Every structure is written in structure tokens, then in C-alpha cells.
């Protein structure tokens, strides 16, 4: 999902008639909502979490969608889209752990996470456990 989709879903779910009514509901200014709608800015992580709460969605899923939308390179965007897809199918606890794992992949990367670092694991069994959890 994209920012506009999230904004529209919050308005619909909470019977908000306008972006003017939506802004204080999200804790942002009307001008900020306008920037979101006109693709001049992206949701902050804090606002993404607020939207997740308002929609009863996993915050990690919303954040992954937003990070995919704001990514400036196709490779990074594809990774975040895969994360969002996986998280949309996971429970809250598993999704948060997965988000932490994916974020660790980008540590040491470029400004957009273009260079990914290998994450060391305790044992090959740990690798298999992570893969099995992600494949479900």
C-alpha cells in the first residue's frame, strides 16, 4: 500500500470528511497531509505507527510499505516490498522480529541501504530456523 491508500483508509475507517479533519487525527498539520498527498513528503515512522494503530494493522507492515515508497533505488524498494508482503502474512511478534532482522541487513550500507552486509548467525541451525519462519 502507498501513503495515499493509508490516508484514505484512515478517513474511511473513522468517518473523517476531509484531510482537514484527518490532520489532527494523525497529529500532523493540514499542510503536512497535503505534502503526503502531493508526493512532496513521506510519512514519518511515528506517523506510520499512528496509522497502524488507527487501522489495526501491524506497525512493521505499514513502515515497510512506507520505506518501499520512499526508496530511491529499485533494489532497495524491492527488498522493502518483499518485507511488507511477508509481514502482511505474519503475526505481530514475528513481524517485529523480522523487521529487526531486515533492518540489520542495511547496517553499514549506503544512505539508501544499497550495500547490504552479511548478518552473522550463531549456527547453521539458526539460519534454517529463520528461513523456515520466513517461508511460511
Backbone angles phi, psi at 87, to 5 degrees: -70, -30
Separation CA 136–CA 83 (nearest Å): 13
Q: Give the span between the Cα atoms of 84 and 62, in whole angstroms.
A: 8
**How do the domains of the chain map onto residue ranges?**
1-57, 74-136
What pLDDT score does 132 carry? 38
Round to whole Å and give the CA distance between 46 and 25: 13
Verdict on whether the full-model pTM lies above 0.75: no
Alpha helices, H only, 1-136: 3-13, 19-26, 30-37, 45-55, 59-70, 74-88, 92-105, 124-135
Domain covering 1-57, topology: 434 Repressor (Amino-terminal Domain) (1.10.260)
Encode pLDDT of 71-122 as tens digits.
Answer: 889 998 898 888 888 877 765 555 556 666 666 666 555 445 444 444 444 4
pLDDT in tens, 13-53: 999 999 999 999 999 999 999 999 999 999 999 999 999 99
Give the whole-angstrom CA distance, residue 67 versus residue 84. Answer: 9
**What pLDDT is attached to residue 83?**
86
Residues in the chain: 136
Amino acid at each position: 500500500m502507498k501513503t495515499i491508500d493509508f490516508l484514505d483508509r484512515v478517513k474511511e475507517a473513522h468517518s473523517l470528511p476531509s484531510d482537514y479533519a484527518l490532520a489532527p487525527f494523525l497529529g500532523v498539520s493540514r499542510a503536512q497531509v497535503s505534502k503526503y498527498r502531493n508526493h512532496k513528503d513521506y510519512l514519518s515512522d511515528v506517523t506510520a505507527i499512528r496509522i497502524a494503530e488507527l487501522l489495526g494493522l501491524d506497525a512493521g507492515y505499514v513502515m515497510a510499505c512506507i520505506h518501499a515508497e520512499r526508496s530511491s533505488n529499485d533494489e532497495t524498494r524491492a527488498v522493502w516490498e518483499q518485507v511488507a508482503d511477508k509481514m502482511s502474512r505474519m503475526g505481530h511478534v514475528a513481524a517485529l522480529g523480522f523487521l529487526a532482522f531486515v533492518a540489520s541487513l542495511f547496517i553499514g550500507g549506503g544512505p539508501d541501504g544499497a550495500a547490504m552486509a552479511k548478518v552473522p548467525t550463531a549456527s547453521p541451525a539458526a539460519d534454517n530456523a529463520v528461513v523456515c519462519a520466513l517461508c511460511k
